[in-house]
Amino acid sequence: MNPTLRKPLIAGNWKMYKTVREAVETARELVQFTAAVNVDVMIAPPFTALAPVADVVKGTSIALGAQNLFWKNEGAYTGEISPVMLSDIGCQYAIIGHSERRQYFGDTDESVNAKIRAALEHQLIPVFCVGETETQREAKETFSVLDKQVTKGLEGFSSESLSRLLVIAYEPVWAIGTGKTATTDQVQEVHAFLRSLVEKRFDNLLAKSVRILYGGSVKPDNVTEIMNMPDVDGALVGGASLSAKVFNSIIHFHH
């Protein structure tokens, strides 16, 4: 992590957990814990809890994120949520292309690209997720898989359009919810690769400013060593973000 260039971002992806009451309760607790925090913090509750949680975190150091969006502003798209609706209730981030969406809900590199474009158009910061499966890693395809995901996901954007806004999250699929964390060497190796890829596809300035988060079984007891890797600028936390207490100790990792 290089805090002079990139402010760390610790993000909690609540996935399909928590009723409105539970979400509001957790958000209230978090607000108390994080009054004077020196990293960026984001939580992404399920859609039903977004607006009530927005009220809780308004004016605090906690930012609000959505877990997904559709790329149209409005229309006959039953079941979908638009970037306009998300901006309207105070969302600042949108997680896009999470492996669970790619795996279960048909997200592709092409739809991810459209979603990133829609997010940027509405001043939502895309947290663009990439990652290889266990089979792909074993077949030594990690770098080619990531190259394809990044290249297609960011196709057609200029460096300027991404400069203020882009966050990439590296989430090896085999480390999500499994308790298996990638080793710090594996994480650093991939993060350095992703940064060099951004430099190759765009430029050095964007490569230096893009925040690259690690996600996959991040816990209070492994966050510090992960965050200490030079190319890790934050964490995208699933299970361990559901408890305000546990998530708070991740947020307060030792620099």
DSSP 10-55: EEEE-TT---HHHHHHHHHHHHHHTTT-SSEEEEE--HHHHHHHHH
| 22 in Cβ contact with 14 (< 8 Å) | no
Structural tokens at position 184: 């710090």
Question: What CA–CA distance (Å, rounded) separates 12 from 137?
Answer: 25
Q: Out of 26, 188, 217, 248, name the contact with ligand 13P by CB under 6 A.
A: 217
Residue 251 binding ligand 13P, by CB under 6 A = no
As measured in angstroms, the least distance from the Cβ of 252 to ligand 13P is 17
Count Cβ atoms below 10 Å from residue 38 Cβ, excluding itself.
Answer: 11
Measure the CA–CA gap between 183 and 222, rounded to whole angstroms.
10
Size of interface with ligand 13P, in residues (CB under 6 A): 14
Catalytic residue numbers read 98, 171
- The single residue among 1, 218, 223, 226 that binds ligand 13P, judged by CB under 6 A, is 218
Of 107, 171, 231, 233, the one binding ligand 13P (CB under 6 A) is 171
d(CA 196, CA 202): 10
Residue with tokens 């359009």: 161
Which of 8, 126, 153, 215 binds ligand 13P (CB under 6 A)? It is: 215
- Under rule CB under 6 A, residue 68 binds ligand 13P: no
Smaller CB distance to ligand 13P: residue 8 or 239? Answer: 239
Question: Which of residues 71 and 170 has its CB atom nearest to ligand 13P in the complex?
Answer: 170
Determine, following the binding rule CB under 6 A, whether residue 231 of this chain makes contact with ligand 13P. no
Largest CA distance in the chain: 48
With b for 16 or more beta-carbon neighbours within 10 A and e for fewer, the 78-104 pattern comes to eeebbbebbbeeebbbbbbbbbbbbee
CB of 207 or CB of 218, closer to ligand 13P: 218
CA–CA gap between residue 224 and residue 1 (Å, rounded): 11
CB of 186 to ligand 13P, least distance (A): 15
Q: How far apart are CA 97 and CA 112, in angstroms?
A: 5
Name the one range near ligand 13P by CB under 6 A: 2-10, 137-145, 170-178, 188-196.
Answer: 170-178
Nearer to ligand 13P, 45 or 239 (CB): 239
The yes or no reply on residue 67 touching ligand 13P (CB under 6 A) is: no
Task: Tell me, residue by residue from 13 to 32, as one string, x for binding to ligand 13P by CB under 6 A and - for no binding.
Answer: x-------------------
Binding mask 70-99 toward ligand 13P (x if CB under 6 A, else -) reads ----------------------------x-
Pick the stretch among 138-146, 160-168, 188-196, 235-243 that binds ligand 13P (CB under 6 A).
235-243
> What distance lies between CA 208 and its chain's CA centroid?
18
Q: What residues line the site for ligand 13P (CB under 6 A)?
A: 13, 98, 171, 176-177, 215-218, 236-240
